Amino acid sequence: MNKIKIKVGNSTRTVQAPESWDELDARTALLVYNTLFSGLGDDLTRGAFTAVKLISLTQHLLAMPPDFMAKWEADCIREDAENGDLVFLEELKQVMVATLAGLFDVVTDAESGATGYAVKFNRTKNPWPALTTSPPASSPKGGGKRANKAPKWYYGPKDGLANLTLYELGITFGLYEEYLETRDEQTANELIAVLYRPSRPETQDERDSAWHGDRRQPYRRYEDKATERMKMVTTLPALTRRFLIFWFAGCREAIVRDYPKVFKKGKDAGGPNYGWGGLLLSLAETGTFGALGETADQHYSNALTYLSMKEDERVEMERKLDGLKRVK
């Protein structure tokens, strides 16, 4: 957290500004997200936000009392009757920029030159490691006391999608990209249903090994179960679902940034694109990670690191061949 000092009159208020979305607890992050995107149709673009929303957000993040802004402005006017209101706006702008630097990028419109703020996708901390829905109470036969079924828990991936297999990464990236293209809520629900799964049966081995790093039921060979879980996902509050997609977007951006040689953009991509299925088949053909099933179950970082190394080898080979051509 960054410390910011605001002097009003004879007192100085020291407040904390977050350095990223990860520094916000789930409740605060949800409130901030709701403040930002309420009334907006698209929450996954890097568009600018209104000054009113940003000022409101600054107040919330810095935990300012309701009357703090008014006292701050009055103090500026008391010190400079002619220009105090402008001084207040300038001080507010400086505090706002410092407060929001961890959550937003400052963007300038190429045509108008206007400055705005675009949300940063740097949330990688899972806001809800586990989710549950409370089923409605049901009456046992013959009436009498109402009986409640125990709620069922669904577990999400670790922060940053750190325990996804290559197969799961391909499925979730594909669903997210489909959602960006179609804005179909069912696709978003399916993405969450793939990420959140019930626990495997608890055994001594699972406890001793800390669930081997992931307590969730596998996705591969249980794909149809995700369709069943979509019913659970639809019972979650809309804001919760939307923030989970926002969190996934942050994780995805971090992974893409960590492996730039694999996730090439635009003209650098080159070659035919056979999708994640083609990637799995290609890796399985090398035998590096075993057969197709073993390759699919590899941790995604193993495969992406391998692909990055092969890209380095390809570039080095091209460099050497180019050198040989020049010698001739």
Cα angle: 170, vertex 173, 177; to 5 degrees: 135
Tell me 15's DSSP state: E
What confidence tier does 264 reach under pLDDT thresholds 50, 70, 90? confident
Section 266-289 average pLDDT: 67
| pLDDT value of position 269 | 47
pLDDT in tens, 291-311: 888 889 999 999 999 988 888
Q: pTM of the predicted model, to two decimals?
A: 0.82
pLDDT in tens, 44-95: 554 556 677 778 888 878 878 878 888 888 989 988 888 888 888 888 888 8
What confidence tier does 290 reach under pLDDT thresholds 50, 70, 90? confident
DSSP string, 237-273: -HHHHHHHHHHHHHHHHHHHHH-TTTS--GGGT-S--
pLDDT at 275 over 90: no
Torsion of CA 56, 61, 64, 65, to 10 degrees: 80
pLDDT in tens, 229-259: 999 999 999 999 999 999 999 999 999 999 9
Section 140-154 average pLDDT: 64
What confidence tier does 111 reach under pLDDT thresholds 50, 70, 90? confident
Q: Which residues, 6+ apart, have CB-to-CB distance to 80 below 8 Å?
A: 87
pLDDT top residue among 213 and 107: 213
| pLDDT value of position 97 | 83
| pLDDT value of position 116 | 74
Q: How far apart are CA 97 and CA 70, in angstroms?
A: 19
Burial pattern 84-98, b for ≥16 Cβ within 10 A else e, equals: beebbeebbeebbeb
Can you give the length of the chain in residues? 328
Q: How far apart are CA 293 and CA 167, in angstroms?
A: 9
